[in-house]
Amino acid sequence: MQLTNFTNHFRSISEHCQNTNFSGNISIIKNKEIVYSRSTGYSDISNRIKINSKTAFGIASGTKTITAVAVLKLIEANQLHLESTINEIFDDELTFIHPKATIKNLLTHTSGIFDYYDEELANDFNTFEVEIPWYKLETPSDYFPLFHGKKIKYVPNERISYSNGGYVFLGMIIEKISGMLYRDFVNEYIFKPAEMNHSGFFAFNALPPNTASGYISTDNEAKTNIYQLPIRGGADGGAYTNSEDIHKFWDALFKNDLLPESIRRVMIQEHVDIYQHHKYGLGVYLSMFGNKLCLKAIGADAGVGFNSMYVPDEDLNINIFSNTTNGNKSVNTIVFKKCEEIF
């Protein structure tokens, strides 16, 4: 079916975007063909620069899926194992994580590590702060003072608690084992092989052209999110990418260009129940699209809303990017419902 025909089917999505003042990009890709694309709003409000289909957005915790692949690259290289424990990796005694917590615990949010950003306690993206100035947080190892001397939250496997700190710590482990900055490791072993040429961990004060600023609304005024987040994204969130590149990521993952099939299968297995209607693999949400397995990378933060869904058996990829806080939520339901009706 041609793009114009699909546009007719998805007219209700376009109308919904207009009625809700959605700011961002929606794309639906079936069998590697873009069957629907909609861009609305501004990537730069002050300069009235409009969002387009190539605009890159921050994806917040969608980055965790990328981090999981980076960890699994080290496992592929036999430099790490899912059952590797913290006391096997670090000689120093760490108070903030149990010494017997494993890499798998960290990937599945079951480690009990201290969480510098505990969403069970702090759930307002727009006001959250840490003791270190945001502009000094450029790579996961910069976060170590936030963890030093803190106590564990619980013993491993006691329960599940979504952990930003756990993924930052995975970034520290990547840096320790590889000898590379986390962002350089991801660029070399994920972005380059997948040809994700519009993706990166860009600093707020040096965003490339056609990259959307994130916006929060305060007192009926839109302000950028540069004072609400680290200056550069890390292992728990903050990568930038666009629709074309995130599709390349899923495609490369399932063509075994990023990981061997045996490791990828472990990644997308059900490991824990994390939320209602969602299971969790290693860094990826698992749900059902009809009777087919559906993988999701999801992110939300100050000035960010992101949801990317991939159905391997249908070669169907649905991407929703927004440069406003939780901006994707206004369109998630209608987009996924329409796709289930048609596909």
Please choose, from the candidates 293, 236, 245, the residue with its C-alpha nearest in 3D space to the C-alpha of residue 265: 293
In the predicted model, what is the mean pLDDT of residues 128-152? 96
Within 10 Å of residue 276's Cβ, how many Cβ atoms? 5
Q: pLDDT tens digits for 59-117?
A: 999 999 999 999 999 999 999 999 999 999 998 889 999 999 999 999 999 999 999 99
Structural domain count, the chain: 1
User: Domain holding 137: CATH number?
Assistant: 3.40.710.10
What's the rounded Cα separation, in Å, for the pair 101 and 107? 11
Q: Kindly tell me if the per-residue pLDDT of 221 is higher than 90.
A: no
Residue 178, Cα to own-chain centre: how many angstroms? 22
Q: Residue 68: what pLDDT?
A: 99
Q: Could you please report the per-residue DSSP string of 112-128?
A: ----TT-TTT---TTT-
Q: Residue 260: what pLDDT?
A: 98
Q: Residue 4: what pLDDT?
A: 53
Domain that holds residue 29: 3-342
Name the more confident of 295 and 129: 295
Mean pLDDT of the chain: 94
Q: Residue 7: what pLDDT?
A: 63
What's the rounded Cα separation, in Å, for the pair 39 and 55? 9
Q: Residue 151: what pLDDT?
A: 97
Instruction: Give residue 128's pLDDT band: very low, low, confident or very high (50, 70, 90).
Output: confident
Q: Residue 59: what pLDDT?
A: 99
Segment among 6-15, 153-162, 250-259 with least mean pLDDT = 6-15
Q: Residue 160: what pLDDT?
A: 95
In the predicted model, what is the mean pLDDT of residues 276-298? 94
In the predicted model, what is the mean pLDDT of residues 307-316? 98
CB-side neighbour CA atoms (13 Å) of 83:
0
pTM of the model: 0.95
